[in-house]
Amino acid sequence: MRVISRIVTVLAAIWAFAGVASAQEFSGLARIDAAQSRIVESGRKDVQIDLHLSQGVPYRLFTLDGPPRLVLDFQEVDWTGLTPGALLRTDRISRAQFGSYVPGWSRMVLQLAGPMAVAQAGLRIDEVTSAAHLALRLSPVTAEEFAAEAGPPYDPRWDLPEPAPLVAAAPGKDPDSPLLVMLDPGHGGIDPGAETGGVNEKTLMLTLARELREVLLRSGGFEVMMTRDDDRFVSLERRVALAHQAGADVFISLHADSLSEGLAHGATVYVLAKEASDKASALLAERHDHANLLSGADLSAADDQVTDIMLDLARQETRPRTEALATALTSGMTNMGGPMNRRPKRSAAFSVLKAADIPSVLIEVGFLSSPRDLKNLKDPKWRAKIAAGIRNGLQNWRKTDLARRALVRQ
């Protein structure tokens, strides 16, 4: 079953419609009609997708494999009011995620319970109200047929920016110059991260990152940049590339995950390791990196961009500095009252920690699955204390790091 040419025709027609939209007051933002939108079973094996929008917008769709997913991109949709629970009325779609993707673009990702192809697709626009109805029908196909058609098309109007090339850190930096910290609020946009009781990880971590940035700037001796300063999706590879572009001295990724297996609470600082230090760490790394499937990126061979020898040489210097950074941050947060995890320093194969020449850590500030941690994360006074602890840790680490590097040069 091949419907690619049909999809391209539909997309071209929508772009053409957008081109003459100015005469019809056709703006770039559409609102989802949550009450009318639904995904249901159609017949014995098919799935019917009906998305109702306040107006027509350019869109495209394609499939990705491993796991099988259907991706719908729009320019652009306000998803307010839509929830996965209300949208999904069939177990043939196992998961739905939606949100902003890159500036000006929105994305919906539907994880399929089995391989399915788009059998029909069409966008109808009411001539009177301008309201739009996107209707799709999915039909089962073999795994081989699905794999043959899967893969994101490339179009610079829709896709992520090309990753910036890795560059060496600026040589000969003045020891008295401010410490450039790249803060990385986890998740964002289409990827909400952990969610519980109407609270999600992406929003909490963006709030904490902004507050931490303010604490660092007011303290003096710091410059701060962020991988995202609003609710947008940023790929894992792009986060690392941004740190290199900025010439960051330190990279700190902020998270507040949720674990369904066992009990987990308190803050934890992670450094990069090929093998996770424990089962929980391995599970978290798998969850974090799985989010990057939303962009269709595969980071499994990211290190192939640079020879293993060059990476190893860079990490020989960076690894002990990173370990010292993790220890200093752990002490700083502990001294401010934490609470800390019973094993506050761990290691895991998080992709965002793979910069070979930048000391990089990932802080799980707490767990949304822990009632105590959730209460803390929602409390501005507690967040102020944990931000102060991170600042203190950075200040102490920098003093020690400068002294050690001076000894090494001697």
DSSP string, 18-59: HHTGGGGT--S-EEB-TTT-EEEEETTTEEEEEEEESS---E
Res 352 pLDDT > 80? yes
Name the residue range of residue 53's domain.
4-149
Give the span between the Cα atoms of 184 and 314, in whole angstroms: 22
Give the total number of structural domains in the chain: 2
Residue 5 CB partners (closer than 8 Å, separation 6+): none
Say yes or no: 102 and 186 in one domain: no
Q: Residue 166 falls within a domain, yes or no?
A: no
* pLDDT confidence tier of residue 260, bands split at 50, 70 and 90: low
Say yes or no: 403 and 272 in one domain: yes
282-313 residues labelled b (16+ CB within 10 A) or e (exposed): ebbbeebbebbbbbbbeeeeeeeeeeeeebee
Q: Residue 142 falls within a domain, yes or no?
A: yes
Give the span between the Cα atoms of 49 and 37, in whole angstroms: 8
Say yes or no: 98 and 213 in one domain: no
Angle (CA) 254-205-240 rounded to 5° is 45
What average pLDDT does the structure give for the chain? 80
Q: Which of 245-259, 311-325, 389-403 has the lowest mean pLDDT?
A: 311-325
Among the candidates 99, 128, 149, a domain finishes at 149
CA–centroid distance for 123 within its chain: 29
Say yes or no: 144 and 186 in one domain: no
Res 153 pLDDT > 90? no
Q: Read off the pLDDT of residues 116-146 as tens digits, 9 standing for 90 and up.
A: 999 999 999 988 888 999 999 999 999 999 9
Give the span between the Cα atoms of 196 and 367, in whole angstroms: 10
Q: What CATH number is given to the structural domain containing 54?
A: 2.60.40.3500
Average pLDDT, stretch 334-358? 87
Q: Residue 167 falls within a domain, yes or no?
A: no
Q: Read off the pLDDT of residues 270-293 as tens digits, 9 standing for 90 and up.
A: 998 866 445 555 555 555 555 544
Q: Read off the pLDDT of residues 294-331 as tens digits, 9 standing for 90 and up.
A: 444 433 344 444 344 445 555 667 889 999 999 999 99
Q: Is the pTM of this model over 0.75?
A: no
